[in-house]
Structures are given as C-alpha cells and as structure tokens.
Structure 1
Amino acid sequence: MNIYDLTFQKYPEYVDSGAKKYEVQIQHNLQWTDLILTISESSKKDIIEYLGVAAEKVYVTPLASRYHHNYLYNNNLHCLEKQSKYDFNKPYLLFVSTIEPRKNINSIITAFNLLKQNYKIEHQLVLIGKKGWSYEPIFAAIESSPWKNEIHHLDYLSDELVALFYSKADVFVYPSHYEGFGLPVLEAMTLGAPVVSSNTSSIPEVAGDAAILIDPQDSMQLAEAILKVISDRQLRQDLINRGKERAKLFTWERTARETLKAYRTII
C-alpha cells in the first residue's frame, strides 16, 4: 500500500469532504497489508503514530523532480516567454501548487503586503496552480490587498512554462502547513530558485540546509526571510547553489532502488 501523507487525519480542516472518507478505507486495507510505502520519514512517523502500524512495515521511497537541472536548455526560452504573456522584466516572488488552505497562501499575501508597505519592494507575486477547495478566502485576501494588481494567479500552466517561472523567480515561497514530501520545493531547487519554506513536516528533509525555513504560522518571519533573500545577492546565490546540489540527492533511480529493496522484504 502507498500512503503519501495523513493530512485527512492530522489536519481534517485542510481537506475536502471526499478526503475525509480515506480513514475508513485505509483502516480496512491495513487488515491485509504487509508493506506500506511512503515518501518521507515525516510521513512514516505519522503512519506509525496515527495508524498504529509497526515501524518495520513502513518503508520510505522519496520522490524526485519532474525536471532536471538543465531542463530549460532544450527549450527556446524566448518562445516560452512570449507564450507565458508575462513581463519577466518585473521581479517576482513565486508560489506553485494547488490553491487551497493547507498551502497557507494567505500568509504569503500577508507577507507580500507587509513587504510592499514597509520596504516598498518592487516585486510582483505570482501564484501558479489550479483552484482546489475552500479557495475563496485566498482570492478575497488578494482582492482586499492594496497591491492586488501586482498579484497574479496564473492557474494551470504547462511543465515548460512552470519551469520557466521557477528559473526566473527571485524567491520561491512555500509556507505550507503540512506536506507528505513537498515536491515544489525540490522542483524550485532543481531549477535554480532560492527557497523560503516551512520548518514543519517533511520539508526540512527535502530542503536540508539549502533553504531558509520559517514558522508557517508567522507571516512576519516569512516576510523577513523573503526580504533577506532579495536584499542579499550573495545569500541568494548561495541558496541557489546549495539547492541545486541538494536536488541531486533525489533521483528516480534512488526511488526505484528503495522501492525494490522494500518489495524484497516481503518476497
């Protein structure tokens, strides 16, 4: 059985009504399951604690990025920029994921407002992702921002365009409350975006020392971390370099090896 995370059990306020039924299904399946694969040590800990599964039955097989570090070299960047219809002359902060409460986008908007008001930063805020559930308060926060014209929701984009936005972002901002893995963090590091993210759940496992990690409940701390990155060119480049090296640790070959190793324990 594969279990990516236990959001539905740990944070039921962050899931839709359909996901709340998962607990019954999983408890039923656990009766005949010999092996559980998950994607982080954080999720393994949650599975042991919340589902009462023996530790020796749970194996971690980390994910990898859909991109590689020179992914964009094979594309015509000028054509991609034209296709995006975005003015890349304006620096921006970037978020990529589903637009839903667990991702803590309201904190990004609050931090953005603080930075605009107190430091007059020239940056735009770009949010890439499809609407999930309970997204109305997020768009209400955008609408009520004095800088709403500098906040852009781009909805779904192709892999190539998402990669382009990662590669040109001044900061990738991801203060998610809870992640089974945190794949956007890995994607951002792979493509050279400095990362500010949460110090919770699985994200420290993925980011290591290659990102600035903050308390996702603290919008001021988030704003200060963003300001550090955009104000200090050397720090920004250091985060980019460390991120690219960190990202090399996560490969689909590694995932395959760990998966095979897990399967062999029950053969």
Structure 2
Amino acid sequence: MDSSAGQLKNVYEGDLKEFRDWDFLIINRYPPGGSVYRWSLDLLEILNGKSELINLKFPAKGWEITHIGKDFSPRFSSPFLNHLFLNFSFRQAVTYIERLRNERNKLVLHYTNQFSGTLRVKGIKEIVNVQDSPNYTETGSPALKLYMRQLYNSLRNKEWVVTNTEVLKHELIDFGFTGNIRAIHLPYSPVFKKIDVTKKNLRKELGLPQDKKIIISVSSDLPRKNLSTIREVMKKLGDFYILVRVGTQLGNSITFNGIDDTTLNKLYNASDVLLFPSFYEGFGLPIIESFASGLPVVTSDIPTIREVAGDAAILVDPKNVDGIAEGIKEAVEEREKLISRGLERAVEFSITKFRERILKLYSDVTKGS
C-alpha cells in the first residue's frame, strides 16, 4: 500500500459512513514481525481503505522483510538524534502528511507506539498509543530514565491516548496525563485457533518429540522476559519436559525463528504449556494467542497480566523457580479446565470486539472536530 499523496481510497460502507470526510494515517515505527506492526495492520483492515500506513524507519533489524506501507528513513543513525530532532529527521514524512492534509482537509494521525514520538503537523487530529508504563525501564541507566521521563512528559497533554490495559491507563493518570485515555485490549489474529489435527501429527510435521511434555516460550531476549528463570525451571522439571523457543536459543531448546502466524499456531497446538514469566509486560499477546489455540498458560502474577489473563491462566511469582515448576505441573494436570477457561477468555480479545472499540474511538475523535 504505497499510495501517492491525494490517492487515499474513498471506500466507506456500513459503520464507516460517518468517516466519509476523513482519512486516517497509521504511523508505525517498528519493522514487521513484532506486535506493533501487526497491530498497525489490524487498524488498516478495520478502516477498509480509509487509511494508509506510514512507516518511520527508525534503525532496527527487520526492515528488510517484505512489508506494506509508505517508508520514510531518518536523517540520522542515532536513535537519540532522531528523537531529539524528529521533524527534521523525518522531514519528508512531514511534507507528505502536510500535502495530504491540504488535499484531504480532515486527517487523523494514529501513532501506534509512544516511542515514535509525534511529528509537529498543524491542523490534524492525533491519537497516540502508549503501550508501556512510564515507571518502567529495561535497564537502570540514568540516561534512559531521563529520556523516558522527557518522552512521557511530551505526551502528557495529548488530547487522545490509547492504552492496552486499564492498569496502564491509571498509571498514566497518576503520571499526570490530562487528555482522554481509552483502554482498548489488543486483539489476537483469527489465525490462532484449535486445529483439527492430532498433536501426534503436528509434532511429526514440526519435527518435535512425541514422548515429552513440551513447554513453549515465545518472546524476545530482553531482560524483562526473564529467560534465565526459564532455563532454571527447565532444569528443575527434568528430562520428561522439553523447551521449544520462538525467539533466541535458550539452553538445549528446540528453536524457531522468523516463522509466520500459521506455523506459530501449529506450535501452540502441538505444545502442552505456554510459559510466559515476564517481570513486566504492557500486555502479553502470546497469552491470548495461546488461549485461542487451546493451550494452557503459566504466567506472571503481575498487574497487567492479571487483567489480561483473568482466571484462565495459572499465575506464579516470576522469581520463584520452584513455584513456576509446580505451576507447570498443575497446568498439565488441569489441562482441560484451563483450555475451557482460555477459549472463553479469548472471546474478549476477538478482532470483532476490537473493531467495535476502535471505531467508537474514531467516532469520538472526529466528532470533536
């Protein structure tokens, strides 16, 4: 979808009719493969031709992967300079957006992650997704903490803000955000579902052992993902259990990288338990994907995950190796009960419910013009 200025599609039907005079630009800063890019595509699909994806290509691995949208590269290789001089660094993007504003008149910019910052463009509506707590940093670096505080201070007075959870919404209010904050849970892709194929056949197809309990871990290798504890838990569980990693290699794990959602869904269906013991999460999408796939979940007893998982997962202290190991054994024993609860919980995160909530948000934003 690499549109030229002024060539945004004018497709509106059904519940999109109220947006006939509006166009939406989805502003994405992350390469394909991650949850933010996927979420950006969900918004494109919901708007059914009334939107265009703008990729601000902050330096990162993954942009070489085939993707859609209109790409704009920054002037600097330094992330700090790109943020400090955002409008200068992405001047071509600003010029493009201004041209669309002049031609279309009514324009909404929806930034899908706070770390893009916001471009200074007059005469448009803005929505900013904030997906992480202002109180959390990946490291204790003073420079990073200062940057985070400045970033969140720059967003405090934005008129429209979207968060993934009610927990984060209240954290932003406590931080001093003054605008309209809407908590909208992320959806899972309809690709994730129970497959009418035996676990034995799936494991054969994927090259997985038939005689082990498979614990699957789906995450990056950021410190908050707590991979060192996963390694210790697997040692504690013994040889009857084996780890499948979607991400970086961990110990003797069977590892998959660069897979599509269809393959990931097969892995969920072939596994016995998802282990997701993060110290911090803005949401935790693999939890919901596992629920929809009929996979029991063992995850961290922390505020955001309590909101997302409800009573459908086994919640554990992410620092307690023994407690996590016992939680996994309980998940194996209580498999059918957890599958039933997970499938029921997944309904709350369907693309249908997400669409309803996003269109209500867009309606409120555009009516305030």
* TM-score normalised by structure 2 residue count: 0.58
Distance change in 2, residues 1:122/1:21 (3 Å): same
Corresponding residue number in structure 2 for 1:250:
349
* Distance (whole Å) between structure 2 residues aligned to residue 202 and residue 103 of structure 1: 14
* Distance (whole Å) between structure 1 residues aligned to residue 166 and residue 204 of structure 2: 38
Cα displacement (A) at 1:191 = 0.3
Distance change in 2, residues 1:20/1:90 (3 Å): farther
Aligned with residue 221 of structure 1, among 323, 330, 354: 323
Q: Which runs of 5+ in 2 are unaligned?
A: 1-127
Contact 2:138 2:223 in 1 (8 A): no
Contact 1:72 1:160 in 2 (8 A): no
Corresponding residue number in structure 1 for 2:243:
125
- Specify the code of the residue in structure 1 equivalent to 2:225: K
Distance change in 2, residues 1:166/1:20 (3 Å): farther
Distance change in 2, residues 1:20/1:9 (3 Å): farther
Distance change in 2, residues 1:170/1:253 (3 Å): same
Q: Which is richer in helix? A: 1
Corresponding residue number in structure 1 for 2:285:
183
Aligned residues: 236
SS across alignment from 2:235: helix
Corresponding residue number in structure 2 for 1:155:
257
Cα displacement (A) at 1:170 = 1.0
SS across alignment from 1:58: strand
Corresponding residue number in structure 1 for 2:174:
49
Based on CA coordinates, which of the two structures has the bigger radius of gyration?
Answer: 2
Cα displacement (A) at 1:196 = 0.6
Cα displacement (A) at 1:94 = 0.6
Cα displacement (A) at 1:91 = 2.8
Corresponding residue number in structure 2 for 1:115:
237
Contact 1:171 1:194 in 2 (8 A): yes
Cα displacement (A) at 1:68 = 5.0
SS across alignment from 1:125: strand
Tell me: higher relative CO, structure 1 or 2? Use CA pairs within 8 A at least 6 residues apart.
1
* Distance (whole Å) between structure 2 residues aligned to residue 79 and residue 211 of structure 1: 24
* Distance (whole Å) between structure 2 residues aligned to residue 39 and residue 167 of structure 1: 26
Aligned with residue 197 of structure 1, among 299, 322, 341: 299
Contact 1:193 1:240 in 2 (8 A): yes
Cα displacement (A) at 1:186 = 0.2
- Specify the code of the residue in structure 1 equivalent to 2:309: A
Distance change in 2, residues 1:177/1:14 (3 Å): farther
Cα displacement (A) at 1:78 = 5.7
* Aligned residues: CA RMSD: 2.8
Distance change in 2, residues 1:108/1:179 (3 Å): same
* Distance (whole Å) between structure 1 residues aligned to residue 202 and residue 353 of structure 2: 34
Corresponding residue number in structure 1 for 2:209:
87
Distance change in 2, residues 1:79/1:240 (3 Å): closer
Corresponding residue number in structure 2 for 1:134:
none
Cα displacement (A) at 1:229 = 2.2
Q: Which runs of 5+ in 1 are unaligned?
A: 132-137, 143-147
Cα displacement (A) at 1:79 = 8.4
Aligned with residue 5 of structure 1, among 104, 110, 132: 132
Contact 2:272 2:295 in 1 (8 A): yes
Query: How high is the sequence identity, in percent, across the aligned residues?
Result: 28
Contact 2:194 2:269 in 1 (8 A): no
* Distance (whole Å) between structure 1 residues aligned to residue 146 and residue 346 of structure 2: 33
- Map 1:63-102 to 2 at 5 A: 63-68=186-191, 70=193, 72=195, 81-82=204-205, 84-102=206-224
* Distance (whole Å) between structure 2 residues aligned to residue 261 and residue 218 of structure 1: 42
* Distance (whole Å) between structure 2 residues aligned to residue 69 and residue 246 of structure 1: 14
Corresponding residue number in structure 2 for 1:173:
275
- Specify the code of the residue in structure 2 equivalent to 1:60: A
Distance change in 2, residues 1:20/1:251 (3 Å): farther
SS across alignment from 1:202: helix
- Specify the code of the residue in structure 2 equivalent to 1:96: V
Cα displacement (A) at 1:53 = 1.1
Cα displacement (A) at 1:36 = 0.5
- Specify the code of the residue in structure 2 equivalent to 1:94: I
Corresponding residue number in structure 2 for 1:61:
184
Contact 1:37 1:60 in 2 (8 A): yes
- Specify the code of the residue in structure 2 equivalent to 1:249: E
Distance change in 2, residues 1:4/1:159 (3 Å): same
Contact 1:60 1:258 in 2 (8 A): no
